[in-house]
Amino acid sequence: MAVATERTATSIQARKGIVDCDVHPYPVSTDEIRSYLPMPWRDRFSGGGRGFFGNPVHGSRLDSTPPGGGPTGSDPGFLRKQLIDEFGIAYAILLPRAFCNVHPDPDLGTAIAAAYNDWLADTWLSKHNADGVFKGSLTVNTQDPLAAAQEIDRWGGHPHFVQVMTDSGARAPFGQRQYYPIYEACQRNNLRFAIHPGTDGMGINVQPSPGYPTHYIEWHTCLSLAFQAHLVSIITEGVFERFPGVGITLTEGGVSWLLPLMWRLDAEWKALRSEVPWLTKAPSAYLRDHVRLSSQPLENPDNSRHLLQMLEMMDAGHVLMFASDYPHWDFDSPTHAFPKLSADLHERIFSATAREWYGLPTPDTTA
Amino acid sequence: MGRHIIGKVGEVPPGERRIVEAEGRSIGVFNVHGSFFALRNSCPHQAAPLCLGSIKGMTMPSRPGEYIWARDGEILRCPWHGWEFDITTGRSIFNPHRTRVKVYDVTIEQRLDGDLPDEEDPSVETFPVSIEDGWIVLHL
């Protein structure tokens, strides 16, 4: 990420404070996205979310509706007041929710992804970003990896896009070779690759559990299943050996499952290494160089010491990055989501690790 | 520690609430079917503004596959994570013994000796008094 560091350091002044690795900006309306779509897609795009498994209570914080109107997360001024200023956020990593990979028609999905990228670049990353607090994620349609790679190349060198993102919903695990063009493009353009929950079992995507669960509580709890399957696939298929510059951001996929899964995978590898001979080290040894997890929704056992032990065991000081998921209902407050951490670990999780990962300037402490 | 006049009863109809600042604390005063209750406006979970949440009923304990909806208007849901609280006790539904929000006493008073609000003009005339005319008084 050396190139990105130089690029951003010269364009904006280093900001002190928290890096929030999962913030969701929304268009003011479906028509706003439609205005970035060429025909025939403009007429085909109807907006909409994932279709079902909607939260039965509320999907966004009830107090996040902008006073001036519009959907939650659609007013940059109000988001700044309620998140950036309230908690002292230095950088917010923006992840739009396009749900573009549910469509049977890959060209429609690719057009939607491009429209979201044009919209984000035009609004949150420029008009509303004079201070550079907003960093963007490029939406790509993973159903068409070649088109996704072209979309990534279209934005290479943009000062505020720091990663490529996809929903976790897929038709095949992300380590498989059909996705190589995406990883090549990420490596070529010095961008991380983020996976965020969504579209599991929706449209043409596979549900990563035995069939469809009945309730939202089941579906939402089991979102981490897809993340586990994707991570095991990416490591064992040798993505990090083939593309040593690739880094995976596992966003909102859960935290505390990581270590037991790695213990299991390492144990399997001792016996089954011959099946995946391209791995040059134990699977868990790839994490520190190639994988980061965002913290929200952080599991919180009744005894917070147990969580602290888990953080220590999983090397949280190097792989975990704070995220709030604003404005969604399961928002984690920067001041209340974690038990008390040591000053060093707090600095790593809330700021330093993400700055290193995304090449964001470190605050000048001598100023 | 004192009495705080919230307003007239008629200004906070059943099902509605008023958020007030008293002694440096944000507090929600709720009218639940004509009775008044006050809760601290801070969720014990992550300090969300609890009293801005939705007011609904709840699904009662039941057998698997059975839904019993009851207690309409008595249950407050946190506006962030959706935890349910009994407005009449401040206790959470999922763990009423351990997870609860601070509650305060509320009384309805027809006369406010000595501390009438400025806008209230003590009249020498007499009128029929109803509960609507009473004052909501919060006690900290």
For B41-56, the pLDDT digits (tens) are 999 999 999 999 999 9
B contact residues 17-46, partner A, Cβ 8 Å cutoff: 45-46
- Above 50 in pLDDT, residue A4? no
Q: Which token pair is A336?
A: 């209340």
Least confident of A62-76, A245-259, A335-349, A350-364: A350-364
Instruction: Please tell me the predicted confidence (pLDDT) of residue A16.
Output: 78
Residues in CB range of A178: below 8 A, 6 or more apart: A145, A172
Instruction: Please tell me the predicted confidence (pLDDT) of residue A339.
Output: 96
Residues of A with CB below 8 A from B49's CB?
63
Q: Are strands B69-77 and B54-59 parallel, antiparallel or unpaired?
A: antiparallel
Least confident of A36-40, A44-48, A331-335: A44-48
Q: Which token pair is A177?
A: 């070779």
Q: Give the Cα separation of A183 and A193 in Å (integer).
A: 8
- Above 70 in pLDDT, residue B113? no
Q: Which token pair is A9?
A: 């350091």
Q: Which token pair is A333?
A: 């407050």
Residue B62, min C-alpha distance to chain A (Å): 17
Whether B77 sits inside 8 A of A57 (CB atoms) is yes
Q: Which of B12, B40, B46 is nearest to B27 (CA)?
A: B40
Q: Which token pair is B133?
A: 């005319």
- Above 70 in pLDDT, residue A13? no
Q: Select from A55, A61, A335 the Cβ nearest to the Cβ of B79.
A: A61
Tens-digit pLDDT profile for residues A296-325: 999 999 999 999 999 999 999 999 999 999
Instruction: Please tell me the predicted confidence (pLDDT) of residue A48.
Output: 72
| pTM of structure | 0.90
Instruction: Please tell me the predicted confidence (pLDDT) of residue B114.
Output: 54
Q: Are strands A192-196 and A161-167 parallel, antiparallel or unpaired?
A: parallel
pLDDT band of residue B129 (cuts 50, 70, 90) is low
Q: Give the Cα separation of A251 and A260 in Å (integer).
A: 18
B12 and B6 in contact (C-beta within 8 Å)? Answer: yes
Three-class DSSP category at A249: strand
- Above 50 in pLDDT, residue A350? yes
Residues of B with CB below 8 A from A337's CB?
46
Question: Domain A2-358: what homologous superfamily?
Answer: Metal-dependent hydrolases (3.20.20.140)
Domains of chain B: 3-59+66-112+131-139 (2.102.10.10)
Residue B99: closest C-alpha in chain A:
A302
Residue B98: closest C-alpha in chain A:
A302
- Above 70 in pLDDT, residue A331? yes
Residues in CB range of A333: below 8 A, 6 or more apart: A87, A324, B46, B47, B48
Q: Which token pair is A313?
A: 């065991």
Helix (H) or strand (E) segment spanning residue B76: strand B69-77
Q: Which of A172, A139, A142, A181 is nearest to A25 (CA)?
A: A139
Residue B49, min C-alpha distance to chain A (Å): 8
Residue A339: closest C-alpha in chain B:
B46
pLDDT band of residue A14 (cuts 50, 70, 90) is low
Instruction: Give Cα A62 to chain centroid, integer Å.
Output: 23
Average pLDDT over every residue of A23-51: 93
- Above 90 in pLDDT, residue B128? no
Q: What's the complex ipTM?
A: 0.84
Instruction: Please tell me the predicted confidence (pLDDT) of residue A318.
Output: 97
pLDDT band of residue B1 (cuts 50, 70, 90) is confident
Percentage of residues in chain A having pLDDT higher than 90? 91
Whether A57 sits inside 8 A of B80 (CB atoms) is no
Task: Say whether residue B79 is in contact with chain A using an 8 A CB cutoff.
Answer: yes
Instruction: Please tell me the predicted confidence (pLDDT) of residue B119.
Output: 54
Q: Select from A329, A330, A333 the Cβ nearest to the Cβ of B47.
A: A333
- Above 50 in pLDDT, residue A35? yes
Residues in CB range of A86: below 8 A, 6 or more apart: none
Q: Are strands A89-94 and A18-23 parallel, antiparallel or unpaired?
A: parallel
Whether A58 sits inside 8 A of B52 (CB atoms) is no
Instruction: Give Cα B91 to chain centroid, integer Å.
Output: 13
Three-class DSSP category at A252: coil
Average pLDDT over every residue of B124-131: 57
Average pLDDT over every residue of A204-213: 94
Average pLDDT over every residue of A23-38: 98
Q: Are strands A248-250 and A192-196 parallel, antiparallel or unpaired?
A: parallel
Residue at A55: amino acid letter = N
- Taking the CA atoms of chain A, what radius of gyration do you get in angstroms? 19
Three-class DSSP category at B27: strand
Q: Give the Cα separation of A144 and A292 in Å (integer).
A: 25
- Above 80 in pLDDT, residue B58? yes
| Cβ contacts from A onto B, under 8 A | 37
Tens-digit pLDDT profile for residues A124-144: 999 999 999 999 999 999 999
